[in-house]
Amino acid sequence: MLLDDVRKTIEATLSSLTPQKAQELAKGLLEPGTAKEQVSKTAAELMDWSHRNRERVREFVAAEISGQMKTVGVATQAEVDGLKKRVRALERDAGMTASGKKPAARKTPAARKSSARTTTGKGTATSPTRAAS
């Protein structure tokens, strides 16, 4: 009977303890014939104790995970967000677009003429008018 009470108490620490379950647990822990007020008070204390212990376990697990992630070298969300802001600022300063490319330069008339030239099979450049003749 005592081992069963200990098991129920430990389960109450890790799971969500309902008021009904707390009443049952309090009745099992107290002497038979205990006043109803004492059972209710004990059940309320068990609910509070269960909530505090669940919170402690949650904090412990979160701290352990955080420590393990740092050990492995995984960046936190705050670190990633900071790096994103820094990259955006550097891209803006360099005049780059969101895709990481510089905006296309407008072609000048001289650049248009040179791109109109073609190459012959011999590797020499010819103008479009000479290639047609």
Q: pTM for this structure? A: 0.49
The pLDDT tens digits for 53-103 are 889 999 999 999 999 999 999 999 999 999 999 999 999 998 876 666 666
Bridge partners of residue 119, in order along the sequence: 125
Predicted local confidence at residue 118, as pLDDT: 54
66: tokens are 């955080």
Residue-range domain boundaries for the chain: 2-94
Euclidean distance between CA atoms 48 and 1, whole angstroms: 24
Lowest model confidence (mean pLDDT) among 7-11, 24-28, 114-118: 114-118
Tell me the mean pLDDT in the region 29-56: 88
Predicted local confidence at residue 25, as pLDDT: 82
Q: How many CA atoms lie within 13 A of 4 on its CB side?
A: 5
- Reduce the DSSP state of residue 96 to 3 states and report it: coil
Q: What percent of the chain has pLDDT over 70?
A: 67
Predicted local confidence at residue 77, as pLDDT: 94
133: tokens are 């003749």
Computed on alpha carbons and rounded to an integer, the radius of gyration of the chain in Å comes to 37
